[in-house]
Amino acid sequence: HGGLSVKRALLLNFLAGMVAVIGTLASLSIGSNIQGFSAALVPITAGGFLYIAGSDLIPELQHDVKVSASIGQFIGIILGVGIMSLMLLFEAPGQ
């Protein structure tokens, strides 16, 4: 449906999957060496999931190609991640 051949689509899907595996391995190896690394990733991951949910629920986000709209969307993502990171600061220790 995206204008790609089956072979090309499979290759791109495989590469996207490998990026996820590499990211997982990197975060697991880095996380064991840096205190609080895993806790810092939670708001970033949550922000990413919120963006995915929002872009699927609001299809207009996928069709808007104006630079100003894209910048606004990016700022919204950064604000969401920032708010979730601030929430992490107020979390009680040991929870």
What does the DSSP 8-state code read for residue 92? P
Q: How far apart are CA 72 and CA 2, in angstroms?
A: 26
Res. 87: pLDDT tops 70: yes
* CA 53 to chain CA centroid, nearest Å: 11
Give tens-digit pLDDT for 27-68.
888 877 888 777 788 888 888 888 887 777 676 666 657 788
Q: Is the model more confident about 37 or about 16?
A: 16
Domains of the chain, residue spans: 1-34, 35-95
Q: What is the pTM of this model?
A: 0.43
**Which pLDDT does position 50 carry in this prediction?**
83
Cα–Cα distance measured from residue 78 to residue 47, given in angstroms and rounded to the nearest whole number: 8
What pLDDT is attached to residue 62? 63
